Chain A
């Protein structure tokens, strides 16, 4: 902040993946000694940017300068030697080593001893090793893991692994530390420990940049923020400035205006729901994805589940579909507990999922994609139909397909085209159509508007409420919260694996505080304080 040159300068960085512009003219500075947060909604390009800066990816255009020296285009290990260290999403600790060895390895490249010295053993290699051991212990003390120095790294909890990754970054001696989603999936306690460590790094003369989805954590730590959306920098400034910035809010919540009449929220929760989720908890490798979620979807209802990236929305849908297992809680469909039912059995009960990212069968035709969508029912009718569906099965298959074509006429025109050649919008229609083929009573959609142009997304979202006329309920997961709230009768807001608010979407939309709740700015410090509009706030269940 003085007149001197920034520690890191990023200028005009652009990256293309095929036709997609992942980064577009990105530029910002990092000043020595500051703590900078890099935030943005899903797909904004944060990881890509991190990869470019750390040398894991080559940009198509632009420059990156570290302490006045150009580093873009250099290999990752050379950039590290110049004083930039990064951690990875999920920590990526070295599981076959002890905690201490993990940190020692970080200094190995700088000892000036190589294979030849190593073979000889005594002399430079031994001295270097002793030095590495001492330094490693120091770094471990900074992060509070010194007492675990000799435990195998694989035995650490998720929170400890993140701290080990920080110690490892320190072990490289780098001045600029870049952390990639260090807090993802951690408990509140773990996050606070992590935040304390990161805050202390400043006092040691380090500069910290971190990418994070948990905006509460970001608010605690960051002095400045850079906001990315769709590969562009849309805001730079202090936390207060960014929080108030309309563009940032729109980027996270969406600003699509939908012109569809919405069914009113049904009052009362007494009637038996189609889907009832109670206290669902899911863990991936010790990381918390869902932490006691309760929600319900009634018949012929459109319900939205919104929240920022990493909140756990996809995980919930996968749990209902049977693709991930619950660590706690219960899921009931049409009154029946679905625990232990394989995905194909749930499909036969009437659950359908159009997954995140469409997941089409790219080299099958549109028609074949749809046909395969009905596999569970065809198989249930008997082996014979697996060769060529016949009789009643063939008729139902054709009828279902006709219905899908009726709903999405564009697909009929492209019926014999390969699915991989469809445009984004058509692909999304196919994904939805494929899920409809098994005649579900509950259709779940995971981020249907992702990667689509606003107009196309609008069309698709507007088509959804019509499905309720066919007797189908919809559980819609969307990052574009504003759009989702306009077509759904009721909505739930998921933050960090927990329901932060729920109620009739009309009321949620009208509530001005909803932005704060949605983004979770208040975050982990304000445990137990929620802004709910028209619905009870759920207490955390551990």
Chain B
């Protein structure tokens, strides 16, 4: 049995007692000393007199103090609890499921909801009885156990202090699942889950609750009532495109901005490039609507650009900006060696390749092809080119294969196209260091018998093709191809298969470079591919890919928590990720999972021999910028809807649910648990005032 308060903050009102005390002290009359003759008569009179004003003044002070005390106590909503003491004495196993999603970053006064939630957990652990054990589950995606059971309050508080609001979305269901698993292994008989959240609707997915069946009591503490302002809007999405004009290029940034408020909102939308604001627009967005706005920015130099689009601040700042990264395609210097130049231009490979790689007079594909004959080849400086395409080449001038080997080992790309001129004997004997396979023989088929087998488009080159385009590509007729044999101890991948289960494209990493072999011709001799519309992007993408075309990296835009996968197949070289918070990470298994912070991540390429340690403090010397990717928040979390109590109860059916406001402390019982005393206290206040009035009147 104990006295408890629903709103203990009002107990600060007890300081008001100082007021009547001060009044009493200030108005106290100065005591005088008088030497008098008939003191014994005074004493006799005093004994006989019924009137005593001094005790009255003390009583008055007492009455006033009591009135203020009772009033403060009444405001603090006191109640007698019989359950409380029992609950307080018994140690408990408590799981704090803390929603650390970014919606908890909404401002609540000078702090955020998350700060209030953390404070709540602090208070909860302080108030919990001795021998209680605590654990902490973070309820953002993916839900995870941050701290397993501990009875040591200091350790637990240390864990709490290390927490901060994340940029992730909410996953209440998984968090509850984790909490139940923890409670299953808890030591204490009394078990309790505290779910501290803003009740954001997004975090409550019905399917996540399907397997939750445990009779543990759950107190859902709703912090959303504390928020001091509304999330008025967000940048919903951002799209980057590049537009070509005759002389210059334009960067177009299209941003969608959502207005969450019920009124027409005038929001300044700003475009930041490289940290500087470059454009700003005022948008009048109707209530509840999304408005798209497109910024145009002239690209003056052919350099990568990183930036963000931002709207004015509101209670939740996290969703007010969205990052993008733009990398203008760099020209890839390609040398096309035509091994079978014809007098009729459209019969030679170079004709198709030149047009496919650079279809317009102005270099818009960022591939700059140079046509060369075999005879000219020794005169060319290979280091001027990123990619060398050997189309239908019979054999190279003596010793030139060594040049090519050197070129590839240093990072060059070598593309082979087959044809009638190709001498498999020469290829197998002289290019053994380069080619991972041996050319076997020409394979001729009837028209319509051989096609490309494009089952899945997981290859980085192929993934841009739409299903319709892939279907078109499958229709292309092939008449001839080379069959191959694998060389021992050589590793290669098959990029595309023919319908007769023979490889169509194989690729292999050699040194820093790459070898790509197309086992049919690059002109119309063996197939109809060069005159198909898909040939152009296909050959361009293979060229970009083999030249370590970085577009696949630049255009990767991820959501918080989505792993970054390096699409270009790399050798055993190292890749370093420079996160927006300044930390450096080494890319392991070509996947980077630590994308929990929105912003622009920079990728660096480092030759394998130059790093050994897993942790990095600064970007090592010799590391070359290899692109960027952006991580943005999942805007679903920003949607302002809240889950209803009814829904919560239905999701957590079978569990004893209690939804409470954060003001009532963790383990403190609710008013419903005891006898409310506010009214009697208020009546007593009235009584005290009556008594005070009567005494003042009497005096």
Q: Do A and B come from one complex?
A: no
